[in-house]
Amino acid sequence: MSLTKRYFGSDGIRGKAHEPPITPEFIYALGVAFATALEPQQGRRILVARDTRSSGEMIEASLAKGMSDAGFEVCLAGILPSPAVGWKVAVDSDYIAGCSITASHNPPEYNGVKFFLAEGNKPDDAFELAVESGIGTRFKRHGGHRGRVTRVSDCETHYSEFCRSSLPEGMNLDGLHLVVDCANGAGYRVVPAIFEALGARVECLGVSPNGHNINLQCGAGQHELLVDSVVSSRADLGIAIDGDGDRVLLVSQNGVVLDGDDLLFMIAVDQLQRGVFKGGIVGTPMTNTGLVKALAKRGIPFERVQVGDRYVQAELRKRGWQLGGENSGHIFCLQHSPVCDAVISGLQAILAWLNSRIQLAEWKKEWQPWVQRLINLPFPVVQSVGLPRLIDTANRLSSGFKENARIMVRPSGTEPVIRVLIEAEDCKQLADCTDEWFAGLKAETGQDILSEYK
């Protein structure tokens, strides 16, 4: 994340609703600035959708007014997963851009806006800086046009048809018993309908949104209920998405959870065996090193970029590769969709499982993950130590671990914390690595500031 940006994080702008910057006044100014930064070619239509948060309608109204005042036609799609917005913008030339009003996997009190440009691309740093510089400045209507706000009702149907078409022709999910957890979020209607239309018998969780329960004890971020439901109902598998529908995980019949790294591996191996794999895989510093080594054994190149699905997307396009993602469950399958899509990647993982003819849980044994520990340090604690000192110490120690362990320190792009990832080949090396890092910080600061996080 660029240090010169004030509002944009790793994926759009978010914060607590009704607190700066997520206020009606700021969102209106953001709408104006975003629309003004666009360079229309064939049209002036912007697609806007939202998740189920109670603050969504307030943001929708303010954002739409700002963009329409700037001279654009704003088309409101209502509640719709974020990937559906990115896909629609990519395939429908009537739209110049799209906005998804969501705070993704964050709790209900948060909200924000994600943006999509031509071909479903996420904005780059330069575009985000241009938007920020335009917030609160005077503007002229584009081409002198008066904007307007309309509603569209066909996006959900078109998105469902698109997702179903991502499976090979003639293939369906007939006979499969699935538990589908929609996180009380944007996919609560369309996602179960997609799996049912493919022939699966679907039990649903997280499909009763009330504006205040998105991501609470449900969805890809909190999967305990899904695990219990899959095991107790003896379903063939479970699938969970997050609040806006771009993260996914699977649960096996006996309750084993497969995260984004597992699903990337499954999809890559299946594509390799079917002769359709292209190039390599793009991941992030959060990608498990065990996965990188397992891919290398199969001759699959791997490239890390900084955390954020827009960086993964940009690198894939740059290299002409198709598959990439994060262990959080953000997965790109560019041969099917231009954006991170929980349904598309979930279907591709299910396809890999069905093609393999082995138990879903057995995929966990196909590669050996390194042991990881993730520590979230609140900003006040970090300020007392100093972020540069945290990073420098981590880098110095990592260089001495050779290839047996690593420490990665980064600011979260979605929460007010600093994330520390410590990773090693086994538990003993992880403990040693952790001890060395904390000891190094204590030696430099003269204080045992972080002891409670050890």
Beta strand spans in 11-94 (E): 13-16, 45-50, 73-79
User: Can you say whether residue 135 is alpha, beta or left, with left for phi > 0 and alpha for psi between -120 and 50 degrees?
Assistant: beta
CB distance 108 to 213 below 8 Å: yes
Structure tokens, 350: 């299910």
Block residue for tokens 């046009």 = 145
160 is annotated as an active-site residue: no
Structure tokens, 399: 């260089």
Q: Who's near 393: CB < 8 A, 6+ residues apart?
A: 437, 440, 441, 444
Rounded Cα–Cα distance for residues 45 and 210 (Å): 30
Provide φ and ψ at 195, rounded to 5°.
-70, -35
Rounded Cα–Cα distance for residues 324 and 345 (Å): 10
Rounded Cα–Cα distance for residues 100 and 94 (Å): 17
Greatest pairwise CA separation for the chain in angstroms: 67
Task: Tell me the chain's radius of gyration from C-alpha atoms.
Answer: 22
CB distance 205 to 43 below 8 Å: no
- Annotated catalytic residue within 104, 160, 252, 328: 104
Rounded Cα–Cα distance for residues 356 and 269 (Å): 9
Burial of 175 (0-12, 13-18, 19+ CB in 10 A): exposed
Block residue for tokens 């806007």 = 48
Catalytic positions are 104
